[in-house]
Amino acid sequence: MGPDARVAVYYAPEPDDPLFPAGATWLGRDPESGAPAPQPDLPGIAEITADPRLYGFHATLKPPMRLAPGRQWFDLLSAAQELAAGIAPFDMPPLAVTDLRGFLALREREPNRALYALADACVEHLDAFRAPPGEEELARRRKADLTPEQAAMLERWGYPYVFGTFFFHMTLTRRLNGGETAAIRPAAEAHFARALALPRRVTQICLFTQRAPGEPFMLAERVPLGG
C-alpha cells in the first residue's frame, strides 16, 4: 500500500447472500470485483448514489485510515485475523430502509449488542495501525456540528462516530431533499425487500482498501469470525 492508500474494516454481506448483489446493483458497482452493476431504472439514481458507490456497499466497523509509519498491510491483516478468531459469529438483526438525517440507509430494526461489540473491538484492537489524521481532515470533521462526545471521539480515535456515538448503517444515497426522499425511499424499499426478508448471520469482517484519494474502495479480504 502506498502512502496515500487507506484501509477500512467493514461489514459486507457474504457473496451468496442476496443482500450483496442487491447492494451492488443499487449503488452501481460490485465492490469485490470492481465491475459496474446495472442500477434500477430511476431518474438520477447514478448521481444520487455516487458518494456511497465510491465506498462500496458496506457498514463501517473501523473507519478508513492510512497505515501508521512502519505498519504494513500484512501486519494489519494478521491482526484482523487474530481479532476475528476470538469473536463468535452471530445473527444479524433485521434491517430496514430508513431516513438517516436525510440520507437513506439500511439500519437494524432492533438493538444488537454483538453488532456494536464487534465495531468496538475493531476500533480499539486495530488502532495501533492507524496514522493520525491531518489537521485538514480534523477541521473538515469538526464542521459537522459535533457534540462534545463526538468531538472527544474524533480527537482520540480519529473519527467522531465510534463506541458510544457509533451507529450501524449501510448508506444508500447522498443527502436527499424531501421530494427526492418521497420518490426514492419506496423504490429502495422495493429493491431490497426480498433480501431483507431473509435471515442472515455475521460470520466475517471485511478489509476494504483505497489505493489513492478519489479511487473506489475495493473489498480486498474477507476475514472469518471464529469464536
pLDDT tens digits for 45-94?
999 999 999 999 999 999 999 999 999 999 999 999 999 999 999 999 99
Pairing of the two strands 59-65 and 103-108: unpaired
- pLDDT tens, position by position, 162-194: 999 999 999 999 999 999 999 999 999 999 999
Q: Hey, what domains does the chain have and what are their CATH numbers? A: 6-224 (3.90.1140.10)
Question: Average pLDDT in the 118-142 region?
Answer: 92
Distance CA 193, CA 116 (A): 24
Q: Taken in order 1, 151, 92, 125, is the CA torsion positive or negative? A: positive
- List, as one string, the DSSP characters of 44-76: THHHHTHHHHHH-S-EEEEEEEPBPTT--HHHH
**C-alpha dihedral sign at 22, 216, 93, 101:** negative
Q: What's the pTM?
A: 0.95
Q: What is the mean pLDDT of residues 194-220?
A: 97
Compute the distance between CA of residue 165 and CA of residue 88 in angstroms, rounded to an integer. 24
